[in-house]
Structure 1
């Protein structure tokens, strides 16, 4: 892989220089913003997006089973990201691809101190795994999450710390883990989340008070209408 990267005719390297070249032409303040966003900001935004989706789910959830299933799908999103990064550890050690700025001169590197291997990108893997898992749970929020993942991949190349194929590999790895393990995760997580939902102390993490009250009120009218009918039967 490193040999391919060193080839001047490699389109991966050409695209790297094209995208990273934007950093050379951009103002210094913009490069600093992109460097921060690409290193920390988009990961934080993905976390906030996940919390926003969870807040809406717990408020609008209907039955306890529905709430448990929906929240379990959201819990899988950060777990999918963690699993994908763990899978990436042996991949990086096997490929051993150096960072692009070690093999190519003239790159504008916006973040220093990167000494680990380049393929595949952890940031691209993390964000895409969360975005795809979020899409499985909620399409509207998931599309935003996938958009953040794509933006993360662009930023990593712009910053000069990854080749485009590092990013594409991260997208593929994150997507594969999020989708392939989703059925197993749902089977394992849903009963656990359902147990939390039934707890009087922490059940609000799964279903909000308003949703619980609405479900409780929906049951009570039926109980009140059944009682007079039983009394009429006894009277007859």
Structure 2
């Protein structure tokens, strides 16, 4: 099995970073996480964040950037990513009013334009799914697949949230295999099945329903670069949750290397 990096999506710790962004990053590094994916920078200047990451030996994997920021602040977002040494820019979510078929046709055009601009600066653009991409079609094809069928790989890569894939009723192993060599980032998420339509009850790795060990094996076969832990909501204090997920990874994945 190929050794993939272990990262954390900092959105998981949003309540903690709201009061102590730097201190939270230090705790994440001490847990053994090797990289972080941002969803905001806590008001820290790019140069200061770069220096802090270097001190902590944390890789800046990339950042979740809202559609609004991509539309209105693209050049500043590019400059920040380049300063901190991040290789990925990811659109993480779309507002409810932007999810119908006609809106998606416009997004396809925009995403290609964003991808071209990021590529010019040596940054890879990707899209992170939830469940709604499996519920809308464009010309008979579900949006998740239409995105990647209609936009060239050099302009759009996959950041697959495997928890949402399974929640949507799709086979996570089949979807990982389908996007081999176009899936550099995999959000590793566990959840317990609940009533459809009530959202996703995310839990620490190993406490839910996903076949995580086979998923990690499939990710390695698909040439995933980073396994990124993300927990949308935490029943326990968030730092405890991400520490527990890291321990699960140490015991069920990292111990092989």
TM-score normalised to the size of structure 2? 0.19
Q: Which has the higher helix share?
A: 1
**RCO comparison, higher one (Cα < 8 Å, 6+):** 1
